[in-house]
Structure 1
Amino acid sequence: METHSPPQIRTAISTSYAELSDTLRIAADYIAENQVEIATRSLRSVASASGVSPASYTRLARALGFSDYEALREQARSELNKREQDSFQDKARRLRTDADQPLLPRQVAACIANINGLLEDVDQELLDTVVDRLDSSRKIVLIGALASAGFTDYFAYLAKWFDDRWLVAGRNGTTLGSTLAGVGPEDTVLIISKHPYAHRSVRAAAVAAGNGATVVVLTDSHTFPGLQYADFHFIQRTESPHFFSSYAATLVLIETITGMLVARAGSGADARIQEVDKHNRLLDEFENV
């Protein structure tokens, strides 16, 4: 049986625009100019922002050749991801083209720019709110896959020095599902995900939100599909002459959050750190120098 690829959204709009009603044209204009919003936000949010009913978006999707609105949204995600993938390939080619230029100073300059960007990109009031939420949570579940997995481990390593409520989901013999089954409104799920986005991170955000947990996302773009489930999110710049994303700004944000939590914990954190250090030495975790 022959299958057909879904149409490109802008091409479909251009082809069908003359036949659309005034209302569907308003919806089509919004989709054409706000593809990131279509890819990342719920239909209800898109309808509210554009002033067009959800039912009109469903009718528009069918008029453009999609089975339903969800199929149109998946196409928006696919197109955005394709643009990002093309960017990776272009960067890899440039690395070969610029092989005679030292990479270290370019990489350092890019990381410094990304880190400096945190001061512009992160709202201090929002950061305080998120840290307050983490401080008051029953437990904090960290989720990261692919390149982000190691950074959730580092996050947990820092946090567990002064706080035993933190755990990394889906690691060390536990499944992602078994960890998420225990979360609820008193808990926070913190997800780190950078392009290319892992399906399990998006699904985990949906499950956590469905269980009533607070969802916090650290990502590199508003195109991350899991943002539609997030209560709070932070976007970090990841520019790099390398073909892959830089995590330098994300590391600074992780270290900032844990530092703020230590400051809130007071003398209790001091006692916990001292106890952890004592047990590490009893277990001979550190090399004596």
Structure 2
Amino acid sequence: MRIDERIEQHYAELSPQEQKAADTLLDRLGDIAVYNAVELAHLSGVSKATMSRLFRRLGFSDFNEVKEHARLVRSSGMPLGPQLSDSGLAAHLVQEQDNLRRLGASLDEERLAATTTALAVAPTVLLLGFRNSFPLALHLRQQLLQCRPSVNVAPQPGQSLGEELAGLGKDDVVVLFGFRRRPAGFRGILQAASATGASTVLIGDSSARRLASDASIWIECPIDGAYAFDSYGAAMSLIGVLANGVLNSLGRAGRDRVRDVSGMFDSLGEIEG
């Protein structure tokens, strides 16, 4: 059980002092690593002995075990901790910059060029995203469709994947967004996509490293957030880089497509100037 679930289960049994300590833990789960047990006791207005007693009642041997548990829960993508406040904006921006820095450090120019070239020349591009990854797949499709046709996204509501994968071949590309808290069968989907003969591009955070060997191209993109929720700012930035690379790879054909799409917007009156 997560620590917040343990607190909820035992809360009514706790003494008033232990409840004060538990409330402090809940308020600071997202950044608990910056505190020690004495500081938490002080923040709670209880003794260190009360704080230690609370840890044991929740099933932890000591505060180090509490911190490790909170770290593991947070690294799995589980929202955990306080909401962002005005005073926390600086921490958020620092984390965003660090995510972008780590993305840039891990993505070499050769792999980026191979990815954008594959996306540019493939007869069909299929983008797969589940849960939090689905909006990323949608956004990449919207960007790629500006400069090339035949870009599909799956799974669509109420639809299965079999008909999307059937018919793909060695010249096609499947991009899979595999950020943490993926569906349980994600590896099987990646392997099925690879079995079609299509090139597979896997984009995910560090939790997807164990899946990288099943993909043609692996791109690691950090999504660490300063607070409770993951941040997809770096992932959206990566999408912009990929789409721009595809447009450059296509050259005049891509520019002609952009012009045709813009003309269609105008004729339909879809886009406000």
Fold equivalence (TM over 0.5): yes
Compared CA separation, residues 107 and 179, structure 1 to 2 (3 A): same
- Does the alignment pair 1:266 with 2:248? no
Q: CA deviation at 1:208?
A: 0.8
Compared CA separation, residues 183 and 93, structure 1 to 2 (3 A): closer
- Does the alignment pair 1:205 with 2:190? yes
Alignment correspondent of 1:282: 267
* TM-score normalised to structure 1 length: 0.64
Q: Which amino acid aligns with 2:250?
A: A
Q: Which amino acid aligns with 1:193?
A: G
Q: Which amino acid aligns with 1:155?
A: L
- Equivalents in 1 of 2:189, 2:79: separation in Å? 31
Q: CA deviation at 1:257?
A: 0.9
- Equivalents in 2 of 1:126, 1:89: separation in Å? 27
- Equivalents in 2 of 1:221, 1:171: separation in Å? 26
Q: 1:86 aligns with which of 73, 96, 115?
A: 73
Q: CA deviation at 1:231?
A: 1.1
- 2:202–2:218 Cα contact (<8 Å) kept: yes
Alignment correspondent of 2:240: 255
- SS of residue in 1 equivalent to 2:82: helix
Q: CA deviation at 1:140?
A: 1.0
- Equivalents in 2 of 1:117, 1:154: separation in Å? 22
Alignment correspondent of 1:243: 228
Compared CA separation, residues 193 and 221, structure 1 to 2 (3 A): same
The structure having more radius of gyration, on CA atoms, is 2
* TM-score normalised to structure 2 length: 0.68
Q: CA deviation at 1:205?
A: 0.8
Compared CA separation, residues 105 and 150, structure 1 to 2 (3 A): same
- Equivalents in 1 of 2:167, 2:77: separation in Å? 43
- Equivalents in 1 of 2:132, 2:74: separation in Å? 18
Matched residue pairs, number? 205
- For structure 2, the residue ranges without an aligned partner over 5 or more in a row are 1-68
- 1:161–1:273 Cα contact (<8 Å) kept: yes
Alignment correspondent of 1:228: 213
Compared CA separation, residues 274 and 112, structure 1 to 2 (3 A): same
- SS of residue in 1 equivalent to 2:206: coil
Q: Which amino acid aligns with 2:74?
A: S
- For structure 1, the residue ranges without an aligned partner over 5 or more in a row are 1-81
Alignment correspondent of 1:53: none
Q: Which amino acid aligns with 1:152?
A: A
Q: Which amino acid aligns with 1:207?
A: A
Q: CA deviation at 1:101?
A: 6.5
- Equivalents in 2 of 1:85, 1:281: separation in Å? 51
- Does the alignment pair 1:127 with 2:137? no
Alignment correspondent of 2:127: 142
- Equivalents in 2 of 1:259, 1:164: separation in Å? 15
